[in-house]
Structure 1
Amino acid sequence: MPQSASTTTPTTSPARLMDGTALARRIVETTAERAAAFTARTGTSPCLATVLVGEDPASVTYVRMKQNRCRKAGIVSRHVALPAETTTAELVHTLTALSTDPAVHGILLQHPMGEHIDERAAFEAIAPEKDVDGVTLSSYAAMSFGLPGFQSCTPGGIMRLLDAYDVDPAGSRAVVVGRSAILGKPVGMLLLARDATVTYCHSRTKDLGAVVREADIVVAAVGRPELIRGEDIKPGAVVIDAGYNPGNVGDVHFASAVERAGLITPVPGGVGPMTIATLMEQTVTGAERQLGL
């Protein structure tokens, strides 16, 4: 494991990179071992159903990546492709059918969906025990109250990265830039549960740089390329860039931030691989729970 890193000690040397690719590979390898044991014991393989509405190129690519990871992890991938004109009612019907199918252990609804679809209604059609992407109200409540359940995959992956690099959030000032229901809000809840003092920032935050400069841990998840600049980073801080924008650019200006941070995630190769690895791991966990193993 990497050596322990302080979240408060100033640094004058370039930050160490948090290698999400290597950690995700280890998680997938362990998950594959668990999947093989599950199959040997039950005679069936863990199954993840992916549902995609329309043919958005980025979404198609993401789903294909997840299907490839499934194969490496010994997970059966069942893909359901729906036309772009699918209605909310039709999508809910599909998700309800998958939720009641005993051969399916996890469900991933790829987002974003068309503006005509009630996204929340679609997510809530996923049975909580199969919500391995952590998008339902039930999963969010479990994260908020520290109860058993599935974490949103990107926030869960971020916490695994912090643990792997011996970053203890307890007592640290964490600033989350972004407030989405599947990233910003839940990662703040997970950090709070680990005794960090959490501040949420967003598009209406006044003097964003001044708030970020107080952070021992920065999570950038706002979807605006290179919004966070190096001069806004506290020397020695841990910088988690959960943004992914055109041109392989994150929400943090990497070249300047790397000169001040203590630890930083690259884009790509940081948070992204951890998201998929967490999805694989939670799918096998869902399968085990559903069969009482």
Structure 2
Amino acid sequence: MLDILTGNILPVFSLLALGFLLGRVGVIGAQEARAVNRISFLVFQPALIFLLVARIDVSSFPLRPLAGYALAEIVAFVLAYQVAFRVFHRGRAESWLLGMAVVFVNSLLYVWPISVLIYGAEGAAPITAIAAWDSTFAFGFFIISMELLRGGRGPRAALASMAVNPVLIAILLAIAVNIAGLTVPAPLVTALDFAGSAAPPLTLLAVGVILSGSPLVPTPVVLAISGMKLALFPVLVWVALAGVAPGDPAGAQFILNAAGPSGMMAFALALLHGVRSEAITQVIIWTSLISLIPLALLA
């Protein structure tokens, strides 16, 4: 466990910690970090998503465990949204993103790189399948739903905004390329790989800086949502896998992913749409810290 923690998990986590430290001492300001986060979100992450989805072999997906994982995501999201909205009386958009923070694990930018280091690219196929699922269908759902939830905008304005969203465009193009069986030209692969490799470190560093300006004492809503993320969601995934794919060897990695920290994308969407983000920020902080040990134990 110690070797995995120090050799694979902490090196990736260190970029988030470095950003937090640089923000605390004032080397990088929050406004600069927000600009970097926006660039990473709109430029580098689409390249990463496109290359992952366009070249992935869908036939290799462990479909039954993936279906169970998706079912657990739906159940956990509905429960978290209701808790945030009805128990803690948060706004609809904030409650929506707090629900996203429970089910949308930082798989693409955090768990996936760690799993590749531990298991190798082929051995991490279940995590790759989850990253592809969350990066396309789950992430696309939250991008579209947040566009529709934004106040003061009609459906036409929301559709116009979605039509020029680089992440959605990358998702749709990648799915089309994959379904059509097209080969991505080697020069384009090189360019996208070069750009996409910048997304995880830049995003982790920028989010660390932004998180450094947040209070560290968790509020009741933060405790509740963090608990649902770190305890309820992995249990729901375990129950779902026991029901639809008992004994499947891929199940361990699905539970490993579920135990990961809340994804940065809930925070990024909150920034993009001007949604109150204090609770979301704290959830990311605490789940990132506390998940270090479960990830090392489960890996």
TM category, shorter: under 0.3
More helix by share: 2
Rg (Cα) greater in structure: 1
Q: RCO (CA 8 Å, sep 6+): is it higher in 1 or 2? A: 2
TM-score (normalised: structure 2): 0.27
